[in-house]
């Protein structure tokens, strides 16, 4: 299992507008969500991890090795990133070519790439669309193709930038399963996401970004218990937790199931 | 008089076998806030595009039935004529950007250019909508240098600045932070209170339940329900339509708590809070 260490990292696109202000984090095998306000620097952060941008100060270590010594092509073998906007990722006229592009690009044989691509398409529920043109597909399917393209590369680290955009609840369940499977395959999973209910149900660790800093970092339940800090970061607790707060419960719950079990227990008494 | 009338609308995309819209009819009043829900590929975006005339004027294919905005039949008028009355925020904000403007400010101004507004009026509207969406500080930035959520805010701002009589929003908050998405729902609600008809596609069922006057449920190109949020989210077979009820409704269903007056499950935070308090104090619950 790999680990990524970020030390005192700063970044800005233009001189007098800092975007990241000294990030210190160690990412490990726990499934991790990154949440925070629009413009907080989440996408910028993951682009830095993948070597697409260079820190203006500070370092990133991959299993102890400084990534500034590695090329983007070398890093691509280890880190897969599903872009926030599928338009930034998809460029082929045929679904299967799109999904095979990444694997071939990192040196997989044609046969292996085809095999991986077929498997990835069936995991995201798009088996049978191999010959379709991604441009005729809606946003939800395009997002799934972008996910399949990264899964097919079989990288040690998988980063999702807002995977649930445009997805209905069945598709969201599917993405939860994919994340759990990646974790049990020993991969590191990092997900940027605005859906707090999804975060509550799926991630062990949650990191809150606010204005280029890490405001909170810990087990998901503990992070969602910090009402004031969440508000400060333009976030809100999951819906079930909101209901607990309204009802004045001492204990807060993250999921419908836990909440219902608790109410049933208290009613019996 | 109804603001929008849709009669037996049918549509099939070119080179496809199945109808994407199957005989849809409904009417919408001025100032109504309509939530549109349904699983992926149900036809939500297709319906939105048919309401502004992108279908059949831009996408060809097979078209049947009629769509009226007031007495204007959209299929018989150009998209630009229809867009004077109806604004649309696309599902992917990226597709909304003109690509020819260098700043966020000019991007918003673009939509207002041919409306015959005075310079002051134009500037007022631009500033107002930029501030409403909390992106005023980025007005001089290149639209393509915005974060995803900031770009989505810009797409909404550009339509609000035009003050159309009908606003269609196709998943406008999918990339917004939680407080931002709440603010957008509130802003859109206040537009509906001024008489603007709103149709909003969303997967955030808790918000749809809290803000919609009526909810339209689509499945496989058909309209399978069009009623109050309480009625639609209390449907027994909701899951078969690929929709998950709001968390508050799911909790109340599991606890067997219904509103005794209308036989529906609670759908909002407030309704669930009230119902659970009642239950705790020995009130009614039917299993
Ligand atoms: N440009 C197109 N060409 C051909 N078929 C299309 C096109 N756009 C959409 N479709 C098809 O029309 C049907 C309805 O799609 P639509 O995008 O309206 O669904 P939706 O409810 O908006 O889905 P989503 O939740 O994914 O946004 C789907 O089967 C889709 O594949
Ligand atoms: N190419 C660029 N040039 C200049 N500024 C940029 C560029 N890309 C992003 N920014 C700015 O950097 C800040 C951080 O952007 P980033 O995309 O990392 O945010 P984010 O946290 O991913 O937001 P969102 O939730 O909206 O996706 C934003 O204020 C954005 O406007
Ligand atoms: Mg982002
Ligand atoms: Mg759609």
Predicted confidence (pLDDT) per residue in A113-139, tens digit: 999 999 999 999 999 999 999 998 989
Q: Which helix (H) or strand (E) holds A177?
A: helix A169-184
CA B230 – CA B210 distance, rounded (Å): 10
pTM of the model: 0.95
pLDDT at position A269 is 66
Q: Does B176 touch chain A (CB under 8 A)?
A: yes
pLDDT at position A176 is 97
Residue B256 within any structural domain of the chain = yes
C-alpha B103 – ligand 2 centre gap (Å) = 15
CA A10 – CA A58 distance, rounded (Å): 6
The burial of A245, by beta-carbon neighbours within 10 Å (0-12 exposed, 13-18 middle, 19 or more buried), is given as middle
Structure tokens at A114: 């085809």
Chain A residues whose beta carbon lies within 8 Å of the beta carbon of residue B244? 169
Those residues of chain A that have pLDDT short of 70 are 1, 269
Contact B139, B107 (CB under 8 A): no
Cis link prior to A102 (omega < 30° from 0)? no
Q: What is the DSSP letter of A61?
A: E
Which residues between 53 and 82 in chain A have a beta carbon less than 8 angstroms from any beta carbon of chain B? Answer: none
pLDDT at position A251 is 86
pLDDT at position B259 is 87
**For range B160-172, the mean pLDDT:** 97
Across the interface, whether the CB atoms of A138 and B246 are under 8 A apart is answered no
Dihedral over alpha carbons A190, A192, A196, A202 (to 10 degrees): -20
Structure tokens at B148: 């995803």
Min mean pLDDT across A225-229, B114-118, B281-285 is at B281-285
Residue B238 within any structural domain of the chain = no
pLDDT at B285 over 50: no
Nearest residue of A to residue B244, measured between CA atoms: A169
Residue B263 within any structural domain of the chain = yes
Residue B24 within any structural domain of the chain = no
Structure tokens at B256: 């067997």
Structure tokens at B171: 């998943």
In the predicted model, what is the mean pLDDT of chain B? 95
pLDDT at position B43 is 97
pLDDT band per the 50, 70, 90 thresholds, residue B114: confident
Strand order of the β-sheet with A65-66 is A17-27, A4-14, A57-62, A65-66
Paired with B34 in beta bridges are B199, B214
* Element counts in chain A: helices (H) and strands (E): 11, 10
Nearest to A264 by CA among B283, B251, B250, B273: B251
Residue B133 within any structural domain of the chain = no
Nearest residue of B to residue A266, measured between CA atoms: B280
Nearest to B154 by CA among B211, B100, B103: B103
The burial of A110, by beta-carbon neighbours within 10 Å (0-12 exposed, 13-18 middle, 19 or more buried), is given as exposed
Chain B residues whose beta carbon lies within 8 Å of the beta carbon of residue A37? 177, 179-180
Nearest to B52 by CA among B98, B86, B102: B86
pLDDT at position B287 is 38
pLDDT at position B217 is 98
C-alpha A26 – ligand 3 centre gap (Å) = 21
Residue B65 within any structural domain of the chain = no
pLDDT at position B192 is 97
B49 CB near ligand 1 (under 6 Å) = no
pLDDT at B8 over 80: yes
Residue B268 within any structural domain of the chain = yes
Residue B15 within any structural domain of the chain = no
Nearest residue of A to residue B37, measured between CA atoms: A168
pLDDT at B286 over 70: no
List of domains in chain A: 4-225 (3.40.50.300), 238-269 (no CATH)
Owning domain of residue B273: 246-281
Q: Does B94 touch chain A (CB under 8 A)?
A: yes
ipTM entry = 0.94
Min mean pLDDT across A93-107, B229-243, B272-286 is at B272-286
C-alpha A142 – ligand 1 centre gap (Å) = 11
Contact B149, A193 (CB under 8 A): no
Q: What is the per-residue pLDDT across B16-28, written as a single tens digit (0 to 9) for each?
A: 999 999 999 999 9
**For range B75-79, the mean pLDDT:** 95
Please tell me the total number of residues recorded for chain A in this structure: 269
Give, for ligand 1, the residue of B13, B19, B49, B63 to mutate: max count of ligand atoms closer than 8 Å to Cβ. Answer: B13
pLDDT at position A193 is 98
B42 CB near ligand 1 (under 6 Å) = yes
Domain count, chain B: 1
């Amino acid at each position: 299992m790999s680990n990524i260490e970020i030390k005192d990292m700063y970044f800005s696109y233009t001189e007098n507008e800092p975007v990241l202000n000294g990030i210190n984090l160690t990412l490990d095998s726990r499934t991790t969500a990154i949440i925070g306000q629009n413009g907080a620097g989440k996408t910028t952060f993951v682009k830095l991890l993948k070597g697409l941008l260079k820190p203006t100060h500070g370092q990133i270590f991959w299993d102890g090795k400084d990534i500034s010594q590695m090329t983007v092509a070398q890093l691509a073998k280890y880190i897969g990133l599903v872009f926030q906007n599928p338009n930034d990722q998809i460029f082929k006229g045929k679904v299967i070519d799109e999904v095979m592009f990444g694997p071939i690009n990192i040196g997989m044989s044609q046969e292996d790439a085809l095999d991986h691509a077929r498997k990835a398409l069936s995991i995201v529920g798009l088996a049978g669309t191999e010959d379709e043109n991604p441009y005729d597909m809606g946003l939800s399917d395009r997002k799934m193709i972008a996910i399949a393209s990264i899964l097919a590369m079989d990288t040690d680290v998988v980063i999702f930038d807002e995977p649930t955009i445009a997805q209905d609840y069945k598709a969201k369940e599917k993405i939860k399963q994919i994340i759990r499977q990646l974790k049990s395959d020993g991969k590191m999973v990092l997900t940027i996401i605005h859906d707090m209910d999804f975060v509550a149900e799926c991630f062990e660790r949650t990191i809150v970004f606010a204005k280029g800093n890490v405001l909170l970092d810990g087990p998901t339940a503990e992070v969602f218990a910090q009402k004031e800090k969440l508000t400060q970061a333009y976030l809100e607790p999951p819906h079930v937790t909101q209901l607990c707060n309204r009802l004045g419960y001492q204990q807060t719950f993250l999921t419908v199931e836990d909440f219902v079990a608790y109410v049933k227990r208290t009613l019996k008494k | 008089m109804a603001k929008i009338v849709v009669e037996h609308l049918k549509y099939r995309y070119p080179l496809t076998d199945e109808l994407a819209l199957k005989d849809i009819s409904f009417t919408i009043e001025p100032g109504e806030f309509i939530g549109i829900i349904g699983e992926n590929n149900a036809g939500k975006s297709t319906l939105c595009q048919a309401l502004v005339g992108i279908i059949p004027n831009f996408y060809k294919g097979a078209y049947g039935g009629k769509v009226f905005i007031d007495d204007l039949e959209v299929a018989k008028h150009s998209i630009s004529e229809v867009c004077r009355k109806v604004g649309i925020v696309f599902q992917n904000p990226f597709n909304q950007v003109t690509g020819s403007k260098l700043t966020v400010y000019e991007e918003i101004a673009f939509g207002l250019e041919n409306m015959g507004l005075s310079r002051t009026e134009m500037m007022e509207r631009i500033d107002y909508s930029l501030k409403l969406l909390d992106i005023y500080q980025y007005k001089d930035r290149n639209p393509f240098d915005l974060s995803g959520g900031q770009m989505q805010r810009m797409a909404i701002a550009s339509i609000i600045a035009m003050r159309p009589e009908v606003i269609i929003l196709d998943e406008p908050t999918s990339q917004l932070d939680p407080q931002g998405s709440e603010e957008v729902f509130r802003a859109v609600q206040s537009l509906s209170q001024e008489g603007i008809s709103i149709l909003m596609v969303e997967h955030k069922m808790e918000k749809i339940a809290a803000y919609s006057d009526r909810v339209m449920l689509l499945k496989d190109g058909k309209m399978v329900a069009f009623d109050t949020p309480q009625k639609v989210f209390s449907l027994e077979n909701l899951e078969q339509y690929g929709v998950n009820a709001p968390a508050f409704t799911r909790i109340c269903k599991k606890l067997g708590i219904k509103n005794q007056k209308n036989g529906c499950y609670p759908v909002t935070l407030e309704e669930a809070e009230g119902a659970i308090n009642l239950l705790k104090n020995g009130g009614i619950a039917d299993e």
